[in-house]
Amino acid sequence: MGLEMKMTVSGVRSGWAVVALATAAVFANTAVSAQDQAARGDAKRGKAISYTCLGCHGIEGYKNAYPTYSVPKLEGQHPEYLVAALQEYRSGDRAHLTMHAQASTLSDQDIADIAAYFAGKPLVSQGKPAGTPPQAATLCVSCHGQDGVSIAPTYPSLAGQHEDYIARALDEYRKGGRKNPIMKGFAATLKDEDVETIAKYFSHEEHPTLKTESRPYTRFTAENHE
């Protein structure tokens, strides 16, 4: 390799290093904010004010109307991640009209309380993935865990999450519907078949697994359980 080529490669690596450090700094500030906010969460109050959330997230297999994909399971997530997600819906960093409308009415305390309620008892890694991570997911597991349980509370756990929801989320990162700089850069390199492979792998992790939050009985559901 000639001197000019070596200098070019070195420059590219240095450039990526600067970008990586800047991105990490931005993410670290967001993570600290989410962690501080989640620490103030009151699950009891969160349950009381989350009745509109349960209209979608409290129904097993419920799907977003258009485009059609499964509404994510939330029970077992870390509250810090749920806080960060709601903050992004509120700010518009995640493009979803219904979620933006819901989140825009919530105070920081409301978000912390709702996150504490839906998280319940966050998943704990069992260290035993259902299978060997496919090549497409080798970078994913460094943050989201070999068995789909995240290594840090501000990363989402993916174990047992709906396959079509994971695919949709990755597609939104690819196309700009979600603006997290780390995920945007990673997703930009994925092909359609990679997205399918990653979504399938994590959705099949079931020990432990995310769950759909159960809704309190209403008059109608109670009649069905007599």
The answer to whether residue 3 sits within a structural domain is: no
Peptide bond into 216 cis (omega under 30): no
The answer to whether residue 116 sits within a structural domain is: yes
Q: Is the pTM of this model over 0.75?
A: yes
Average pLDDT over every residue of 149-170: 97
The count of domains in the chain is: 1
Q: Is the pLDDT of residue 59 over 90?
A: yes
The answer to whether residue 39 sits within a structural domain is: yes
Average pLDDT over every residue of 170-190: 96
Burial of 124 (0-12, 13-18, 19+ CB in 10 A): exposed
Each residue of 1-37: pLDDT tens digit?
Answer: 444 433 333 343 343 334 344 444 444 555 567 788 7
**131 lies in which domain range?**
11-215
Q: Is the pLDDT of residue 115 over 80?
A: yes
Cα distances (angstroms) measured from residue 210 to each of 60, 155, 161, 163, 205: 12, 14, 6, 12, 9
Average pLDDT over every residue of 131-137: 93
The answer to whether residue 52 sits within a structural domain is: yes
Which residues lie closer than 8 Å to 115 by C-beta, 6 or more apart? 38, 41, 46, 79, 80, 82, 83, 86
In this structure, are residues 195 and 170 in contact, taking their beta carbons and an 8 Å threshold?
A: yes
The answer to whether residue 1 sits within a structural domain is: no
Q: What is the CATH number of the domain that holds 83?
A: 1.10.760.10
The answer to whether residue 5 sits within a structural domain is: no
